[in-house]
Structure 1
Amino acid sequence: MLKRDLHIALFLCCISCIAFAQNFDLPKDQKYEKVKFQLVNNVMVIPIEVNGTALSFILDSGVSTPLLFNLTEQDSIQINKVSEITIRGLGEGEPIQALSSRSNSFKIGAAQNQNQELYVVLDQALNLSPSLGIPIHGIIGYDLFRDFVVEINYNSKHIKFHNPELYHDKQHKKSQTLSLAIRNKKAYVKGAIVLNDSEEIPVRMLLDTGSSDAIWLFENETIGVPTKNYDDFLGRGLAGNIYGKRTKINSIKIGDFVIKDAKTAFPDRASFGAIKSLGNRNGSLGGEVLKRFNFVFDYANNKITLRKNGNFKEPFHYNLSGIDLQHNGVRYISESIAGANGIVRNKDSETFGNVQILMENQTRLSLVPEIIVSGIRAGSPAADAGLLEGDVILAVNGKSVHTYKLQQILQMLNERKGKRIKVLIERQNDDKVITFVLKDVFKKP
C-alpha cells in the first residue's frame, strides 16, 4: 500500500555527489515551450522522453534530482553510467538503495537536456500509479525550475517553459510578486498563519507542487495543533509511512492573498527522523493550495509572481468516508449489448475497458481496472459500517465504477456531510451492499 490518503510526500534530502554540467535549453530564438499537463489529485503530470522512451513524470518543486521508479519487466528503457547510492527521505522506515545514472537524454517537447542525472529506485513498493489511477514513472523538479522561467496555469492546465534570456515579465494588476528563497535546490516563500483566533504567526513554507495535500505545518513553541483534529495517515515518503494529525486553521496569508479555513496536517516528528535539520522551515504548501493560483517561478531572480484563479474559493476536500482506493490489476465484467427485444444495440458502450470479447453478439466481456479499498480510517463511517481493506468496489450509489476514473469515484464517496452512501462490494467472491452516512470529520461522536 503506497498511498492511503493519496497525499504525495516524496522529498529527497541532499545527497553528496559530484556535480556535472547539465542543463535544459530550447532551440535558438524559441521563446518558450508550452506543455499540457494532467491535474490528478492536485498534482501535475507531464510527458517526458527519457533516452527516447515516452514516460509520465510528476512536476515536483520539492524534489532536487529526477527520480525514476515503477519499472517492471515490461518496461524497456536505457539508462547510462550507473552507480549505487543511498537515498534518505520522509517516513519512518530505513534509507533505501537506488541507482545514480548520468548522461541521460531528457526531452519535453523542444526543451532538451542531453546530460541529465537521475536516480532510479528499484523498490516496487514505490509506485504511485495505483493510487493516482494513471501510469506514473517518475518525478522531476529543480532542473526545470532552474533552467527556465516556469509559468504554470492551473486553469487551462498548461505550463510554459520560458527561455530566461528572452522572457519579458508581464505584470497584471491583480498579480503580486514575492521574494523566493532557493535553498538546497528547493524554493521557500514567507507567509503568515492564524491558528484558531490567535494573532498572525510568520511562517516560512516550502513550495511543493508534488504534494497533493494542502498545508503541512511543524509544531514548535508558537505553532501548535488546533483542538479540533483527528489522527490520519498522511502519505508515504521515500523512507516509509507518514502519520500525523489532520485539522484546519483559521487562515493562511501568502502576500496579500488570504485563504480561510485552510485544510492542514501536522506530521509526526518520527517521520522526519532521516532529515538532520528542517532549518527555519515551518511547513509546506501543496497542490490543494497552489492550484488556487497561476504562477510564474523565476528561480534565477529569486522571485515568484502569483495571481488567484477560478479555483481560489473552492472548498477544501476531506475524506469524509474514511475510504482510500487504488487500482489492483484488472477484472472482466459481463455486459448485455442486446435490448429486451433481442436486437443488438449499435456501439452501445461507454465502458472504461479497452479489451472486449463478444459472445454470440449479445454479451460482451470487457477488461476493466479493478478498484479496491487500499486503506480505511479507524472510526470512520465506512469502517463502522463494516467495509474492510481489500474489498473490491463494484458500484457507488448504483453507478458502476468501471465507467469512472479513480478520482471521480473518490469524489462520489466523499460528496458532502449528511449524504447517504451505498457501496456494492465483492468480498471473497460474494457481493455485499454496505451503507453509511458521511459525517463531519471534526465533530466529536
Structure 2
Amino acid sequence: MKKLLYFLFFLFCGSYLMFSQSKFQLPEGKKFDKVRFQLINNLIVIPVEINGVELSFILDTGVAKPIVFSFLNEKDTLQINNTEAYFLQGLGEGDSFEALKSKGNIFKIGDAINPSQDMYAIHDATLNFTPQLGIPIHGIIGYDLFKDFVIEINYSSRYIKIYNPNTYTYKPCDKCETINLEFYNNKPFLNADIKVHDNVVPVKLLIDSGGSDALWVFEDESQGLYEHENYFIDFLGHGLSGSVYGKRAKIQELHLKSFILENVNVAYPDSTDIKLAKRFKTRNGSVSGSVLKRFNCIVDYNKARLTLKKNKFFKDSFSYNKSGIELEHHGDMIVNVDEVNSDGFSRNKINIDVALKPSYQIILKPAFVIVELRPGSPAERAGLLVGDVILSVNNRKAHQYKLQEIVHLFYGDVGERMNITIDRNGFVSNFKFKLEAPLESN
C-alpha cells in the first residue's frame, strides 16, 4: 500500500513553563491496559476522555503538554477551570498565539486516569487537524502519557498497550533493536545514520509520532546534509505559527542500528520556518510516522530506551504525491439523499436530513477543497486552482470517498489517469491529467 505522506507537524514550547506535578495511573493491581487506535495518514488517533467528555487525540511524542482545540467551545463542553493566558510559539514563520493554560483536569485513556492534568486550550479555531485528516481531532497528547508508563505501539494491529512500569518485564527478542533515547525539553531524540550522496552521516533526530512524513532533515552542507539537484519545492505542513515549506527529496538509506530503510523520503524545511526547532543545537531533524509505522515499538521514557521490531509495513516503498494536490475537508455540500443511498450508504450514517417533499431529500456531506497546488505539478498544469471544491474523482462522487481515500489515489502509479470534476465559484468544470513522479527516483 502506498504511503500517504501529507505532513502535519505540530510542535510547541510549553515545556519551558512550570506545571504542577501529576501522573497517570492504572487501577490498583492492573498491570496493563489495551487501547485501540485509528491510523490515519501515519498518525495515531486515540480516544481520550477529559472531564467526562469523550474526544479523539493524536498521540504525539513531539508535544510536551496536552493541547485542546478551541472549536469545541471548551469552556462550556469540558468545564475548564483554573485558566491562565499564555502566548506560545510554534513552527512556521508567523507570530506567537494566545492559549489558555488550565489546571486540574481529569484525563482518562482506557483505564489510565490522571485526576489533575494540566493542558493548553487554543482559541484560534484554524489551529486544528480536523480539516487535514477528515475526522474530528480534538487535541494532542504526548509526554504526560509516555512519562508514566511503558507503552507498546503496535502499528500493524493498531493498538497501544499501557504498562505499569513497576511490573513491566522485557521479553527476549532476537529480532528487535533497542535504541537509547536522549531528552531535551521533555522530547525524545535518537541517534541514527543516514546515507546521502554515498556518504554515511550520523544524525540526531526528534522522534515525532505527530508528523506523517518520513524524515525531516535540517540542511547543513558542512555535514553533507543537503540536496542541490534531485528535489522539488513543496508545502511540508502546518506549524502552530504558520505554514512550512521546503525541499522534498530522497536519501539513499536510513540506519536505525541494524535496520536499514532504503530510498527514504526526506524533507529539507526552509530554515526561516524552523527557528524554534533548531534551538536544540545538535538536532539534525525528525523521524516521523512514515518511518515509525514500519515498526512495532516499546517506548520506555523512564529507562530512556526505544525497542523496535519490523512489522508488515517495513518493506513498503516510500512514495510521493504524484498529482500536486493537497486537500482538506472544509465545511459541507448538499447532496441528494437518493445518490447516497444508491451507493450503499445507510440512513443511520446521515448527519443532517432535511425533508423537502416525500420524494426528495437532501443531506450534507463533507466538502473537499484544494488548499495547496505544487508549482509545475500535473494538476496545476491541467488548470486546477486553490479553492476548487472536488465534486468527483474518476467518475465517483467525492462524498462517496473518505478524505484519505482520495489522497491515496494521488499516490498511484506513474501515468495513471485522473478525471476530476470541480466546483469553482458555482461553475462546474472537468479536468484530466496523468500522475507524474516529482523525482527521478520516485
| Alignment TM-score, normalising by the size of structure 1 | 0.92
- Change in Cα spacing, 1:442 to 1:25, as seen in structure 2 (3 Å) is same
- 1:147 paired residue number: 148
Q: Does 1:211 align with 2:227?
A: no
The AA in structure 2 aligned to 1:380 is S
CA contact (8 A) 2:25 2:114 kept: yes
C-alpha separation in 2, matches of 1:350 and 1:379: 41
Q: Could you tell me how far 1:31 is from its partner in structure 2?
A: 0.8
1:155 is paired with a residue of what secondary structure? coil
- 1:68 paired residue number: 68
- Change in Cα spacing, 1:443 to 1:111, as seen in structure 2 (3 Å) is same
- Change in Cα spacing, 1:100 to 1:73, as seen in structure 2 (3 Å) is closer
CA contact (8 A) 2:15 2:185 kept: no
- Change in Cα spacing, 1:117 to 1:361, as seen in structure 2 (3 Å) is same
- 1:379 paired residue number: 376
| Equivalent residue runs for 1:220-239 within 5 Å | 220=220, 221-222=222-223, 223-239=225-241
1:410 is paired with a residue of what secondary structure? helix
Q: Could you tell me how far 1:336 is from its partner in structure 2?
A: 4.2
Q: Could you tell me how far 1:219 is from its partner in structure 2?
A: 1.6
C-alpha separation in 1, matches of 2:345 and 2:439: 42
1:147 is paired with a residue of what secondary structure? coil
- Change in Cα spacing, 1:347 to 1:7, as seen in structure 2 (3 Å) is closer
C-alpha separation in 2, matches of 1:96 and 1:231: 27
Q: Could you tell me how far 1:121 is from its partner in structure 2?
A: 1.0
Q: Could you tell me how far 1:427 is from its partner in structure 2?
A: 1.7
Q: Could you tell me how far 1:172 is from its partner in structure 2?
A: 2.0
- Change in Cα spacing, 1:422 to 1:101, as seen in structure 2 (3 Å) is same
- 1:181 paired residue number: 182
C-alpha separation in 2, matches of 1:295 and 1:250: 24
- Change in Cα spacing, 1:356 to 1:304, as seen in structure 2 (3 Å) is same
- 2:55 paired residue number: 55
- Change in Cα spacing, 1:27 to 1:256, as seen in structure 2 (3 Å) is same
Q: Could you tell me how far 1:272 is from its partner in structure 2?
A: 2.2
Which ranges of structure 2 fall in alignment gaps of 5 or more residues?
A: none
Q: Could you tell me how far 1:430 is from its partner in structure 2?
A: 2.2
C-alpha separation in 1, matches of 2:284 and 2:338: 57
Q: Could you tell me how far 1:364 is from its partner in structure 2?
A: 4.2
CA contact (8 A) 1:394 1:425 kept: yes
- 2:113 paired residue number: 112
- 1:342 paired residue number: none
Superposition RMSD on alpha carbons, in Å?
2.1
Q: Could you tell me how far 1:337 is from its partner in structure 2?
A: 7.2
Q: Does 1:402 align with 2:399?
A: yes
- 1:287 paired residue number: 289
How many percent of aligned residue pairs carry the same amino acid? 40
| Equivalent residue runs for 1:199-348 within 5 Å | 199-220=199-220, 221-222=222-223, 223-274=225-276, 277-334=279-336, 336=338
Q: Could you tell me how far 1:366 is from its partner in structure 2?
A: 2.7
Q: Does 1:427 align with 2:424?
A: yes
Bigger mean CA deviation after superposition, 88-97 or 355-364 = 355-364
The AA in structure 2 aligned to 1:370 is A
**Cα shift readout 1:122-147 (whole Å, capped 9, x = no counterpart):** 01220210110000111100011100
| Aligned mate of 1:416, from 409, 413, 416 | 413
CA contact (8 A) 1:6 1:132 kept: no
- Change in Cα spacing, 1:410 to 1:336, as seen in structure 2 (3 Å) is same
1:300 is paired with a residue of what secondary structure? coil
C-alpha separation in 2, matches of 1:431 and 1:279: 51
**Cα shift readout 1:137-158 (whole Å, capped 9, x = no counterpart):** 1110001110000100001100
- Change in Cα spacing, 1:399 to 1:83, as seen in structure 2 (3 Å) is same
C-alpha separation in 2, matches of 1:143 and 1:72: 22
**Cα shift readout 1:41-84 (whole Å, capped 9, x = no counterpart):** 11001111111111111000000111111424496111121111
Bigger mean CA deviation after superposition, 370-379 or 156-165 = 370-379
| Equivalent residue runs for 1:349-388 within 5 Å | 349=345, 353-357=350-354, 362-388=359-385
Q: Could you tell me how far 1:349 is from its partner in structure 2?
A: 3.8
Bigger mean CA deviation after superposition, 221-230 or 377-386 = 221-230
CA contact (8 A) 2:72 2:138 kept: no
**Aligned residue-pair number:** 433
- 2:43 paired residue number: 43
C-alpha separation in 1, matches of 2:191 and 2:344: 55
Bigger mean CA deviation after superposition, 107-116 or 177-186 = 177-186
CA contact (8 A) 2:16 2:185 kept: no
- Change in Cα spacing, 1:165 to 1:43, as seen in structure 2 (3 Å) is same
C-alpha separation in 2, matches of 1:137 and 1:425: 29
CA contact (8 A) 1:374 1:390 kept: yes
Bigger mean CA deviation after superposition, 35-44 or 173-182 = 173-182
- Change in Cα spacing, 1:282 to 1:148, as seen in structure 2 (3 Å) is same
2:333 is paired with a residue of what secondary structure? strand
Bigger mean CA deviation after superposition, 71-80 or 364-373 = 71-80
Which ranges of structure 1 fall in alignment gaps of 5 or more residues?
A: 339-344
CA contact (8 A) 1:96 1:239 kept: yes
- Change in Cα spacing, 1:346 to 1:297, as seen in structure 2 (3 Å) is closer
1:200 is paired with a residue of what secondary structure? strand
C-alpha separation in 2, matches of 1:133 and 1:418: 27
Bigger mean CA deviation after superposition, 427-436 or 251-260 = 427-436
C-alpha separation in 1, matches of 2:418 and 2:363: 26
C-alpha separation in 1, matches of 2:353 and 2:34: 36
The AA in structure 2 aligned to 1:254 is L
Bigger mean CA deviation after superposition, 77-86 or 289-298 = 77-86
Q: Could you tell me how far 1:312 is from its partner in structure 2?
A: 0.5
- 1:121 paired residue number: 122
- 1:80 paired residue number: 81
CA contact (8 A) 2:128 2:139 kept: no
